[in-house]
Structure 1
């Protein structure tokens, strides 16, 4: 099937062709007609499958097919995402595919000043892409009106639940008209996501294009057993010996990301850290440098890296395994995107054996292990408990949230 058969306008097809795409991915070929039909949609697809274009293209089509009378510019489509980076990525997709359409779009997220966002909203916006916290700020200050929203998209809904945004989402829903089209996209159809969908969606079309929690088939996975104190040296060795030019490295904590980036710089590797405590400007600069090739190693926490879309990223390294097995799937999904190959390497010490077993149970297969000469683990090293890093809130209490 080609994009020409999906019911998209000539302007959208032109934009798709300009990006070099001719054949839709499975999620796109199923989601685009479903969204165009006007009903609610619940979509699940592993990361890197083209999910963003799967809802962006038909959303733009529907807004174009039903222009607002009198040239009004109130918000007609709202896309809610969990992180600033994903917010910017979705906005880039809206701009890319809507470049030949008379539609305006804007982003609303924290870490930057409110006034430029207020000015953009006053000028009029058709498509608004936002994170929950900052969007609530605008609602409280009456600088945004969501009463005319026709289409609501909840993107990465599973991550929003993980980050404790469910209460914010419910507040946002109260500001939206009850008659609307709602699209919910998630990496998985977990029981929590199904419960959320039951309260939001009306008789939705369900689309699931990959087995639940499977890792991308285009990603080659490998585990290197190593001693606790040998990880940094092993990582530097792998980057140098393998001549890796672009590497995304995951740590569990913000402090760990900062420390590792500084240590890698000491090893002569250009590195930068990206996490929730970094200013938006610092995060944007680090990501831009990484995409342009000026930064060789980008060290990130799970929340900061969620939704990062880096074309042809060849290597992902789990410097520390995640506490939640599903996060492993999200991490390695940063590579092997759009059918391209990629490599995911995990550096595993004795503390993380149980975490590795949990990941392998989720995947349904063991991951190949390979000892690197000179970095073999100490057989006498005893496991130590892993302190879990807070990732937002799951119940009451305060949290530091990216708005």
Structure 2
């Protein structure tokens, strides 16, 4: 049972949220993601991908704040998706010291830089907004442990794809996890870049 081997805080939050049994996708994917491998996670809508992303990210960070630089990044398509995912993260980070921050193109980059400088653990951002932060030295990614892309189909857009490639080129060592409903050829292309030796979980 994947939930049994998660951080104690997460098991408590799952109990409060009345989530008792992992979905087939979660049973298959959580142990593989926890192993530290690069993973492509493909499963249909409603299979528990977003909850898996949150649980495995928080488990990796041991549910506590450390330092000032982000140790986890989650890339999403747009501001709406970023804010929605932020709300979902808050369901699980309650009563922890973890700091979750949301960045997107519509928020001035100088504001993002100064707020991130205060110290964050998890950055939820669009690829374009994150790339801009990196180009302006507004983000220290030396402590990054896990980099996830949620609902990655949007990367077929050229601007998003190019920005993501630029971002991942700046990252030295990190676990990458990509979540999507189907394995799109453009996602497969990442195998020769940052998704080396990746495993595929398909449900």
Three-state SS of the structure 2 residue aligned to 1:134 is: helix
Q: Is the 8 A contact 2:72 2:123 kept in 1?
A: yes
Offset, 1:197: 3.3
Offset, 1:29: 1.8
1:243-254 aligned within 5 A: none
Counterpart CA distance in 2 for 1:154 and 1:197 is 14
Provide the residue aligned with 1:341 in structure 2: none
Counterpart CA distance in 1 for 2:190 and 2:201 is 16
Name the one with the larger helix percent.
2
Three-state SS of the structure 1 residue aligned to 2:62 is: helix
Offset, 1:175: 1.9
1:107-122 aligned within 5 A: 107-122=102-117
1:196 counterpart = 2:194: no
Aligned match for 1:171, one of 166, 188, 196: 166
Offset, 1:138: 1.6
Aligned match for 2:6, one of 5, 8, 30: 8
Q: Is the 8 A contact 2:54 2:89 kept in 1?
A: yes
Provide the residue aligned with 2:40 in structure 1: 42
Indicate the structure (1 or 2) with the bigger Cα radius of gyration. 1
Report the number of matched residues: 203
Three-state SS of the structure 2 residue aligned to 1:143 is: coil
Tell me how large the CA RMSD over aligned residues is.
Answer: 2.1
RCO higher in 1 or 2 (8 Å CA, sep ≥ 6)? Answer: 2
Provide the residue aligned with 1:144 in structure 2: 139
1:341-360 aligned within 5 A: none
Listed as ranges, the gaps of 5+ residues in structure 2 are none
Aligned match for 1:186, one of 159, 180, 185: 180
Distance 1:56 1:96, change over 3 A: same
Counterpart CA distance in 1 for 2:119 and 2:91 is 19
Provide the residue aligned with 1:100 in structure 2: 95
1:27 counterpart = 2:25: yes
Provide the residue aligned with 1:314 in structure 2: none
Aligned match for 1:135, one of 130, 133, 147: 130
Distance 1:27 1:163, change over 3 A: farther
Distance 1:203 1:15, change over 3 A: same
